[in-house]
Structure 1
């Protein structure tokens, strides 16, 4: 894999383009977005260091479904499709690992749907903040934990397919309970243990 640096806001792979490469985040954060009918972006997920993406499009030989964008200055590893297929056919562990990954993704999608149908929005958002904190923190025993990538209440609403007003109500509760805060556009988790107990 070659490695490239990408600037905040830079597009890595664009929806509709031929899937000629797959990627891995080496450092930083990458957002995967889709488009609403009105042209606005919908946040689908956030990739952190170690996450691979776009291999599904390469395997299925179809264009990229979604657009990936660097959230902060990041380093991304790139593997061209020809090299991917050489490795795929040379090492049986690769298709086996991909099958496990795709199965895990499907399972998570079902779990997420069930959670949205059966769990209060407050608990879902608490779980999201706790997950983000654990991915950002080097030491989970220290507090507070700064989330070093930007996301908005509108992004949260996109993730859970709810209105921004619903998210604002829950975030206000978290702030009042001194669980999270936002300073200078950046989120901070103030009490990870209490957030986890909510979930």
Structure 2
């Protein structure tokens, strides 16, 4: 049994999955199960026991946590092609964050027994190590940005990441980001008012165009210059 060619192509938008051997891509998809969520439904909750390894086939998933004051912080939004959930399967500890459907979602779920079997394959084990390293680098970069970078630089960097699918880091750029300013502010840990002022200034310099529920990248070179503090 082979996975649908269109599904393989769709998942290969993600650099990590695209780098796997074709036979391994097929084995992962053939041995996965479909799970669907409606908008607002949770796939995972913080504190859940380790479960499955997931690949996002359709829709978008919000990764978030709650502060002591009950305020939500959005860490990232997973898009089609992302694979995730390996950390708890590796260390056996509870899930660290909530994950809920932003839109109608379809994921491919690899059960723990199948994940363990795949880990006996050296190619898959190395790929999981690389995925962990990629996720770790992204977290470290966000921490570094929050401590050392100006608000303008942080906004520019996050918009540039979102233009490439944020955590998926797709090679394909997109210039229309379907994200509200409220969500972007929660991703950055800043107030909506601060974000609005910075985006207005960035728009005046020709880097972005602001529309309802969207941020359009007008000039990626200008955005990259802002990201570098130029």
Q: TM-score, normalised by structure 2?
A: 0.72
Deviates more, 1:29-38 or 1:14-23: 14-23
Which string of whole-angstrom CA distances, capped at 9 and with x for unpartnered residues, describes residues 163-197 of structure 1? Answer: 33322221221233343344342332233232123
Equivalence map 1:1-199=2 (5 Å): 1-88=32-119, 90-135=120-165, 140=173, 145-148=175-178, 150-153=179-182, 155-199=183-227
Deviates more, 1:158-167 or 1:79-88: 158-167
Deviates more, 1:183-192 or 1:120-129: 183-192
Which string of whole-angstrom CA distances, capped at 9 and with x for unpartnered residues, describes residues 97-131 of structure 1? Answer: 22222233333333333333332211211121122
Alpha carbons 1:22, 1:81 under 8 Å: kept: yes
Q: Unaligned 5+ residue runs, structure 1? A: none
Equivalenced residues, count: 193
SS at match of 2:40: coil
Distance in 1 of aligned mates of 2:132 and 2:172: 30
Deviates more, 1:4-13 or 1:52-61: 4-13
1:95 CA drift (Å): 2.4
Distance in 2 of aligned mates of 1:122 and 1:188: 16
Distance in 2 of aligned mates of 1:93 and 1:33: 31
Q: TM-score, normalised by structure 1?
A: 0.82
Alpha carbons 2:181, 2:192 under 8 Å: kept: no
Distance in 1 of aligned mates of 2:224 and 2:69: 36
Distance in 1 of aligned mates of 2:196 and 2:212: 17
Residues 118/39 of structure 1: CA separation in 2 closer, same or farther (3 Å cut): closer
